[in-house]
């Protein structure tokens, strides 16, 4: 019972902080998701060390923070100057490696860049969901809908998979996931997309449905990719920051692939529609 209460409390606090960051104010969004970006990047570099590499944790986290701030400044303040600082930081990564005298320098550089590509970039692109229309106005509806659909996809897949799952989806990576569960998650996500179109007006019904397809396809793949990373270094959870729920990467595995694809879709809407 004690473990159940701990899991429930940590999940409730996590949800409250996340929803507050999404819905209340741009500065709240900045504080919450910049913190998540830094914690997720740090967690990734800790995992990379288990793969016998020595990524530049401090430099990588600085670059991750600057990337998020650059995207925030670009969308909220219509300024691209912080991207110049980010570019300089990227150049410094291989230069710094020259002086570290660590084994496997190529792998160290590669994992440092991978942390930025796999973790920091997807979180940074969330800025373009809350500021999607180049009007410097805070539109939380798209990001809120994306997270609600991700949670719906996970919940639907779990409930259907537990009760009806017989055919394994990707047994080598995640033995418990089933095709039946994936179909259940897809149907649940489409239902939530319809509700989003009813109560959240930033996208049309067709656009919400396309976002739903992106989420149940790339959200599921994101889950599998993170499971692949963990399985390759023989660990169960990416971290323990959320008691009973694992780490940041465990909680946000879907958004790491969903975010870039939703970003591309939103840019396509602005470009062609």
Residues 200 and 92 in one domain: no
Residue 111 belongs to a domain: yes
198 & 125 share domain? no
Which residue matches tokens 């005298």?
101
Is 7 inside any structural domain?
A: no
User: Is 58 contained in some domain?
Assistant: yes
* pLDDT at site 138: 92
Is 147 found in the same domain as 74? no
Last residue of a domain, which of 89, 117, 135? 135
Q: Quick one: 84 and 169 in the same domain? A: no
End-to-end Cα separation, the chain, in angstroms: 53
Residue 203 lies in a domain: yes
Domain closes at, from 115, 135, 155: 135
pLDDT 10s digit of each residue in the chain, 273 long? 456 666 678 778 888 999 999 999 999 999 999 999 999 999 999 999 988 899 999 999 999 999 999 999 999 999 999 999 999 999 999 999 999 989 899 999 999 999 999 999 999 999 999 999 878 789 999 999 999 999 999 999 888 888 886 777 766 777 678 888 889 999 999 999 999 999 998 999 999 999 999 999 999 999 888 888 888 888 877 766 766 667 899 889 999 999 999 999 999 998 887
Q: 84 and 105 share a domain?
A: yes
pLDDT at 1: 46
Class of residue 53 by CB neighbours under 10 A (exposed 0-12, middle 13-18, buried 19+): buried
My answer on whether 68 and 167 are in the same domain is no
Q: Is 20 within the bounds of a domain? A: no
Q: How many domains does the chain have?
A: 2
Do 119 and 165 lie in one domain? The reply is no
Could you tell me if 146 and 176 lie in one domain? yes
Domain annotation covers residue 6? no
- Tell me, what's the pLDDT at 171? 67
CA distance 187 to 94: 46
Q: Tell me whether residue 3 is in a domain.
A: no
Please indicate, yes or no, whether residues 142 and 130 belong to a single structural domain of this protein: no
H helix or E strand, kind and range, residue 38:
helix 26-50
Range of the domain at 83: 26-135
Q: 261 and 174 share a domain?
A: yes
Which residues sit opposite 77 in a β-bridge?
none
Residue 9 lies in a domain: no
Same domain membership, residue 120 and residue 60: yes
Domain boundary among 116, 135, 154: 135
Residue 213's pLDDT is 97
Same domain membership, residue 82 and residue 148: no
């Amino acid at each position: 019972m004690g473990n159940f209460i701990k899991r429930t409390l940590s999940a409730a606090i996590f949800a409250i902080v996340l929803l507050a960051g999404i819905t209340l104010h741009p500065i709240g969004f900045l504080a919450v998701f910049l913190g998540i970006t830094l914690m997720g990047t740090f967690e990734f570099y800790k995992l990379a060390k288990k793969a016998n590499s020595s990524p530049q944790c401090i430099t990588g986290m600085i670059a991750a923070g600057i990337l998020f701030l650059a995207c925030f400044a670009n969308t909220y303040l219509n300024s691209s100057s912080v991207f110049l600082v980010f570019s300089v930081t990227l150049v410094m990564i291989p230069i710094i490696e020259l002086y570290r005298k660590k084994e496997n320098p190529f792998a160290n550089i590669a994992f440092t860049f991978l942390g930025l590509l796999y973790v920091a970039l997807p979180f940074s692109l969330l800025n373009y969901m809350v500021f999607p229309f180049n009007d410097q106005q805070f539109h939380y509806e798209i990001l809120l809908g994306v997270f609600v659909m991700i949670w719906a996809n996970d919940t639907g897949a779990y409930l259907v998979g537990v009760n009806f799952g017989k055919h394994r989806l990707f047994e080598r990576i995640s033995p418990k996931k089933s095709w039946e569960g994936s179909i259940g998650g897809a149907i649940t996500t489409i239902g939530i997309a319809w509700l989003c179109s009813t109560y959240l007006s930033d996208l049309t019904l067709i656009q919400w449905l396309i976002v739903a397809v992106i989420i149940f396809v790339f959200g599921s793949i994101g889950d599998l990719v993170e499971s692949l990373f963990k399985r390759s270094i023989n660990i169960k959870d990416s971290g323990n920051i959320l008691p009973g729920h694992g780490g940041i990467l465990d909680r946000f595995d879907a958004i790491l692939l969903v975010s870039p694809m939703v970003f591309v879709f939103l840019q396509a809407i602005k470009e062609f529609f």
